[in-house]
Structure 1
Amino acid sequence: MPFAKVYSGLTGVAGRALLIGACGFVLAGCDTLSSINPFDKSETYKPEIVAAAPAEELYNDGLARIQKRDFEGAAKKFSALDKQYPYSEWSRKGMIMEAYANYEGGLYEEAITASKRYLQQHPNTSDAAYAQYLLASSYYDQIPDITRDQEKSERAILALQELVERYPRSEYVSDAKKKIQVASDQLAGKELEVGRFYLQKRNYAGAINRFRNVVSRYQTTRHVEEALERLTEAYMAMGVVSEAQTAAAVLGHNFPDSPWYKDAYNLLAKGGVEPREDSGSWISKAFRGVPQVGQRTG
């Protein structure tokens, strides 16, 4: 069937897309369709067949580019494996290496995309834990300072926790737990920053909610001592003395040498009261049976 007849009924975007596809796929190397006259019987055309590079060659080329720190170029080579050899072992190996190359090159969003694709297609393979680690680390390495939005911190924690839960025997678990602690500390710091702002503006209810998040969700971070002292301040300012006493008592029990405990104790003393824990308080319940960072015994 003549080429012109096939496309004679196509107009608009669909027609242009098919024409472009035909030029790129069937007539490799042509610039426009005008160079071929389908009605000239004397004119013949031999399509140029461009052979795909061997899979091993593409893979080794990618490795060589990694050694040269051309991570973006390496990622493209590994991506080509999936396109040219889909559903093959080379495709699988290329996919995980594409994620790695993007991560090493600081192309975190591309690394996240490649890692997710690997986990969707190969969730039970030996490299699945590594793909999850690359995914989590890509979020983790984008964590900003506490003055900015902490969405990346939250995503990092979720991805790291999934790594620990799904692949508990993985060699990456130890590092994942350390990163969870750092990311949690970052989120706690953000909550404290906002809580301090509310406290300064005398929005005590808003401040308490922020400090409560630190005490309830981020107990093992270094910010929990200050959060308990700030709760003492906020509750005393609101006249909720029993909760202020409980916050100070829990702080003193878990961190007796903390300067924050001294501040809380002095604040209560000015009000004529001392630290005293109410076992029915949410603060007491939140700390029950949970070991604290910096906790001292004896």
Structure 2
Amino acid sequence: MLRSDAAGNALGAGRLKRMIRYTSLAVALVVAGCATKDDVDDLALDETPAEVMFNEALALRAAGDVEDAANKFSELDRVYPYSEFARKSLINIAYLNFKMGNHSEAIAAAERFTTLYPGNEDSAYALFIIGESYFRQIPDVGRDQAVTGKALQAMREVIQRYPDSEYTKQARQRVRATEDQLAGKEMEVGRYYLTRRNYLASINRFKVVVTNYQTTRHVEEALYRLTESYYALGVVNEAQTAAAVLGHNFPQSEWYQDAYSLLQKGGLEPQESKGSWLSRAFGNMKLL
């Protein structure tokens, strides 16, 4: 059956556009002086319709062929970059790379998705993939925690931007875990300075824990270490306030018993100083 002139013209126009795109890419490589025959062949665009390519990729994913599925979605995104199927492919690229443990690739695809489609219903999932990819790379507390900070930032963004999404609950769990990790790092560095009697440096580290990570398991020790550091410096009012805050919030804590004993050696007791930053940090503190 012969095509109509209109249909033939439309088909011809589509082929012309693809040829222009292919030729432009090939010329760019030739001008750069780095093209080989294989390079040019690799640039050949698949003329399979976007919907067919998308369904092929879905079939590969359903069959468990994760790597080939990711490659097929990537090819679709390259050939039809502004199509509806490219958008659907991009979130699949992020997911499949995350599943394969290719965290950098997953993050790159998910970040591109959130940039191009910020209002899309899948943006919450893309942002969660970013946070979870960073979370899976968190090192032990003795190493640099830059990745931990990125995981925390992404998970907080999930909660703030998409509070009703299905990913919010797990994002909250990740926030607690990352905050605990970051607090643990501050404690490690603070203890290092404390053992070397660099009390001002140790106070700065423990202050971060008390100010930013009050809900973590490290805050009790941080308050005790502040009592210890301030007492060693002779800043008695801050030492007493740190102990008072510790006793009010964690009266059964062994750290509080240690803080109380330390002050008693100098004839002191826990007592709030209203001008202390600790009083402001913990709000309405009840005195013991």
Coarse TM-score class (shorter-chain normalised): 0.7 to 0.9
Q: Which residue of 2 aligns with 1:62?
A: 57
Residue 25 of structure 1 and its aligned partner are, at CA, apart by 7.3
Equivalent residue in structure 2 for 1:208, among 203, 212, 224? 203
Q: Which residue of 1 aligns with 2:169?
A: 174
The 1:145/1:51 distance shift into structure 2, 3 A limit, reads closer
- The yes-or-no answer on 1:217 pairing with 2:234 is no
Q: Which residue of 2 aligns with 1:106?
A: 101
- The yes-or-no answer on 1:87 pairing with 2:78 is no
Q: Which amino acid aligns with 2:283?
A: R
Please state whether the residue corresponding to 2:120 is helix, strand or coil: coil
Q: Deviations over 1:67-112 (max 9, x none)?
A: 4544333221111111122211111110000000001111000000
The 1:269/1:67 distance shift into structure 2, 3 A limit, reads farther
User: What is the number of residues matched between the two proteins?
Assistant: 258
Which whole-Å CA distance do the structure 2 matches of 1:202 and 1:66 have between them?
A: 58
- The yes-or-no answer on 1:131 pairing with 2:107 is no
The 1:225/1:80 distance shift into structure 2, 3 A limit, reads same
TM, length-normalised to structure 1 = 0.80
Q: Which amino acid aligns with 2:31?
A: A
* Structure-to-structure mapping, 1:225-244, within 5 angstroms: 225-244=220-239
Please state whether the residue corresponding to 1:145 is helix, strand or coil: coil
Q: Which amino acid aligns with 1:157?
A: L
Q: Which residue of 1 aligns with 2:12?
A: none
The root-mean-square deviation of aligned C-alpha atoms, in Å, is: 2.4
Residue 260 of structure 1 and its aligned partner are, at CA, apart by 0.8
The 1:274/1:57 distance shift into structure 2, 3 A limit, reads same
Which whole-Å CA distance do the structure 2 matches of 1:181 and 1:272 have between them?
A: 39
- More helix as a share of residues: 2
Which whole-Å CA distance do the structure 1 matches of 2:62 and 2:106 have between them?
A: 18
Residue 287 of structure 1 and its aligned partner are, at CA, apart by 0.8
TM, length-normalised to structure 2 = 0.83
Residue 63 of structure 1 and its aligned partner are, at CA, apart by 3.5
Q: Which residue of 2 aligns with 1:251?
A: 246
Q: Which residue of 1 aligns with 2:144?
A: 149
Q: Which residue of 1 aligns with 2:280?
A: 285
CA contact (8 A) 2:46 2:79 kept: no
Tell which structure's C-alpha radius of gyration is larger.
1
The percent identity for this pair of structures is 52
Q: Which moved more, 1:106-115 or 1:123-132?
A: 123-132
Equivalent residue in structure 1 for 2:160, among 165, 174, 183? 165
Q: Deviations over 1:148-170 (max 9, x none)?
A: 10001111111111111222221
Q: What are structure 2's unaligned runs of at least 5 residues?
A: 1-26
Q: Which residue of 1 aligns with 2:188?
A: 193
Q: Which residue of 2 aligns with 1:14?
A: 31
Divergent runs of 4+, >6 A: none
Which whole-Å CA distance do the structure 2 matches of 1:192 and 1:170 have between them?
A: 34
Which whole-Å CA distance do the structure 2 matches of 1:144 and 1:270 have between them?
A: 40
The 1:126/1:141 distance shift into structure 2, 3 A limit, reads same
